[in-house]
A and B are shown apart, each in its own frame.
Chain A
Amino acid sequence: MPINYYITLALCLFAIGVVGVLTRRNAIIVFMCIELMLNSVNLLLVAFSKMHHLAKGAAATAGTDGQLFVFFIMVVAAAEVSVGLAIIVMMYRNVHSININFLNRLKH
């Protein structure tokens, strides 16, 4: 497959994630849209890594760095999710809502 298809697909998923972040008011759904953005990046990185592997056919390890970067993104996402959901649960305990429209107490 030409790389163009993968770039378009990844950007499409990324844009859907961005739209979700901008339009939804539910903190958990916003967070899920961010996860979607990370996944589109992962897909793009894997496609690029296979592209570079094909282009530099001689070197056996060409392109592994792209796939390992994806591995590290997953590592970081897992850590981020645990902290993020803890913050959302703490918020819910105090105000019984996770609607981010309520996030305006900070503005005097």
Chain B
Amino acid sequence: MNAVLLSGLLGVVMMFASFLFRTKAPVRILAILGMAVLLVANVLDTKGIHFFHVNTTGFLSFTGYALFFNTIVIACTLIFFLISSKDMQKVGNHYAEYFALIFFILTGIFLVTAFTNLLILFIGIEIISIPLYILTGSAKKDLKSNEAALKYFLMGAFSTGVMLMGIALIYGATGTFDITKMNIAGLLKSNLLTAGMLMLLFSMCFKVSIAPFHFWTPDVYDGAPNVFTSFMATIVKVGIFVGFLHLFYTAFDAIALQWKIWMAVLAALTLLVGNITAVFQQSVKRMLAYSSISQAGFMLFALVAMNETAHEGLLLYAIAYCLATIGVFGIISKMTDYSFDGFNGLAGHQPLVALCVAIFMLSLAGIPLSAGFLAKFYMLKAVIQAGGYMWLVIFGVLMAAVSAYYYFRVIQAMYFKEGPNHFSGISAFEKCVLVGICVLIVFTGLFPNIIFGWMYF
């Protein structure tokens, strides 16, 4: 509960910061400090020190898993602030408001990871979505940003409608919104429940851009300002994913036969669509949008497997995917040309930055010794343990091999081609942050047990 209340309060503080400070630097420092405080508060919460004693009347339950995941989310957002907060100034005039919206989105993510009632799931997803519509459209003069916001908004609202219909049908069948009291096992043959569950499944798939509900993703990620694409493609996506896993693990495990095959087919389709279209992209930003779809396909493996390993794997995936993608976007938002040709010869102009990009790409591709490899390994292992979906595992390995092609294309452009410098410069501090992210990625890849040690202490 510490994190939920504090992030809401910090959002309000950031709202007031916009007219307390005339310059941008204090606002930025305040936001970074606030995020650090949030991190400390959440870690204390994990240790059993609660600042607020709220009777949640059965609406929220903060399990160790949820709290540990929240710690990851906050840490990733802190890194995101450290590397990208300066670039947010380029987007528009409302600098402090952007930070406030990000704090509010974090509140939504904390709710979505800890809900025990469909009402909280609905409110949490809306608290995530509404600020995201705003952030997508925050570059007001940019037509692409406008269109992305309108598109995202209309499709998001539509999927919310479908989700609510699903919740209503589930309520009709079970008589409660509490996912722990639904007594699903007694309703195996209920058409109402099945229809509602499928509608809920499809709308959640939409929110995390699973094919065939992914069609908004490339356009919205491409149109939104770079810094905010970085945030919503990583932290928001894994946040909703944990909610998705929690929902199906807690509520619908008893009727797993009805939806597991859907999950497996959706995961395979997502991998196929994401990887094949990513191969044909000319802009690195758009390539990353499609690669985020294919990574979502891998994360969906957790919902096919539904066991302990899948839970651990999703955590690792969150760390690996968020760190690498935030790092790449941090660099992209400092480039003037973000097509593949823009990266030509980057190794000659900026050797350190190019090395970092190479490590991020290797991790995203899942090369051994990186966090990305371990995350993919855990996902595949979870599905093998669950049994019965061997074809999905083989297909996943195949698609991971395909994905290596477009990640290596960036490395090839940087190291083996010549080109003019499109990089607009980077401060020494940001270089340190980049190196820090690389160290974290390699460290997680080498010693995953330390992470799990923290989780189960």
A and B touch in the complex (CB under 8 A): yes
Q: Is B153 an interface residue (CB 8 A)?
A: yes
Q: Is B222 an interface residue (CB 8 A)?
A: yes
Q: Are A94 and B171 in contact (CB under 8 A)?
A: no
Q: Is B389 an interface residue (CB 8 A)?
A: no
Q: Are B172 and A44 in contact (CB under 8 A)?
A: yes
Q: Is B71 an interface residue (CB 8 A)?
A: no
How distant is the Cα of A108 from the Cα of B141 in the complex, in angstroms?
Answer: 19
Q: Are B150 and A91 in contact (CB under 8 A)?
A: yes
How distant is the Cα of A60 from the Cα of B427 in the complex, in angstroms?
Answer: 65
Nearest B residue to A102 via CB reads B147
Q: Are B168 and A48 in contact (CB under 8 A)?
A: yes
**Quick one: CB contact mask for A60-79 with B, threshold 8 Å, 1 for yes?**
00100110110011001001
> Which residues of chain B from 134 to 173 have a CB within 8 Å of any chain A CB?
134, 137, 140-141, 143-144, 146-151, 153-154, 157-158, 160-162, 164-165, 167-169, 171-172
Task: Collect the chain A residues with CB atoms within 8 Å of residue B169's CB.
Answer: 44
Nearest A residue to B146 via CB reads A91
Q: Are A69 and B147 in contact (CB under 8 A)?
A: no
How distant is the Cα of A74 from the Cα of B385 in the complex, in angstroms?
Answer: 44
Q: Are A94 and B143 in contact (CB under 8 A)?
A: yes
Interface residue count for A (Cβ, 8 Å)? 46
Nearest B residue to A63 via CB reads B175
Q: Are A44 and B158 in contact (CB under 8 A)?
A: no
How distant is the Cα of A68 from the Cα of B171 in the complex, in angstroms?
Answer: 13
Q: Are B140 and A66 in contact (CB under 8 A)?
A: no
Task: Collect the chain A residues with CB atoms within 8 Å of residue B153's CB.
Answer: 83-84, 87
How distant is the Cα of A104 from the Cα of B216 in the complex, in angstroms?
Answer: 12
How distant is the Cα of A33 from the Cα of B140 in the complex, in angstroms?
Answer: 26
Q: Are A27 and B222 in contact (CB under 8 A)?
A: no
Q: Are B143 and A69 in contact (CB under 8 A)?
A: no
Q: Is B219 an interface residue (CB 8 A)?
A: yes
Task: Collect the chain A residues with CB atoms within 8 Å of residue B123's CB.
Answer: 72, 76
The B contact surface, by secondary structure, is: helix
How distant is the Cα of A98 from the Cα of B148 in the complex, in angstroms?
Answer: 13
Q: Are A21 and B158 in contact (CB under 8 A)?
A: yes
How distant is the Cα of A27 from the Cα of B151 in the complex, in angstroms?
Answer: 9
Report the contact-size class of chain B (Cβ under 8 Å from the partner).
Answer: 35 or more
Task: Collect the chain A residues with CB atoms within 8 Å of residue B161's CB.
Answer: 14, 17, 34, 37-38, 41
Q: Which of B122, B144, B150 is the one whose CB lies under 8 Å from A87?
A: B150
Task: Collect the chain B residues with CB atoms within 8 Å of residue A103's CB.
Answer: 147, 150-151
Q: Are A84 and B168 in contact (CB under 8 A)?
A: no
**Quick one: CB contact mask for A30-61 with B, threshold 8 Å, 1 for yes?**
11001001101100110010011001100000
Task: Collect the chain B residues with CB atoms within 8 Å of residue A84's CB.
Answer: 133, 153-154, 157
Q: Which of A34, A72, A83, A105 is the one whose CB lies under 8 Å from B158?
A: A34
Known contacts A17-B161, A41-B164, A45-B171; is A34 also within 8 Å of B154 by CB?
Answer: yes
**Quick one: CB contact mask for A2-26 with B, threshold 8 Å, 1 for yes?**
0100010010001001000100000
How distant is the Cα of A3 from the Cα of B168 in the complex, in angstroms?
Answer: 13
How distant is the Cα of A76 from the Cα of B122 in the complex, in angstroms?
Answer: 9
Task: Collect the chain A residues with CB atoms within 8 Å of residue B177's CB.
Answer: 65, 69
Task: Collect the chain A residues with CB atoms within 8 Å of residue B175's CB.
Answer: 52, 55-56, 62
A–B Cβ pairs within 8 angstroms, 21 of them: A10-B168, A21-B158, A37-B162, A41-B161, A41-B165, A41-B168, A45-B168, A48-B172, A51-B172, A66-B171, A72-B122, A76-B126, A80-B126, A84-B153, A84-B157, A87-B133, A90-B146, A103-B147, A105-B147, A106-B147, A107-B219
6 closest cross-chain pairs (CB), A and B: A37-B161, A106-B219, A48-B172, A41-B164, A52-B175, A44-B168
If A21-B158, A37-B165, A65-B176 are given as contacts, then 7 extra A-B residue pairs at C-beta distance below 8 Å, sorted by A number, are: A34-B161, A41-B161, A44-B168, A44-B169, A48-B171, A100-B151, A106-B223
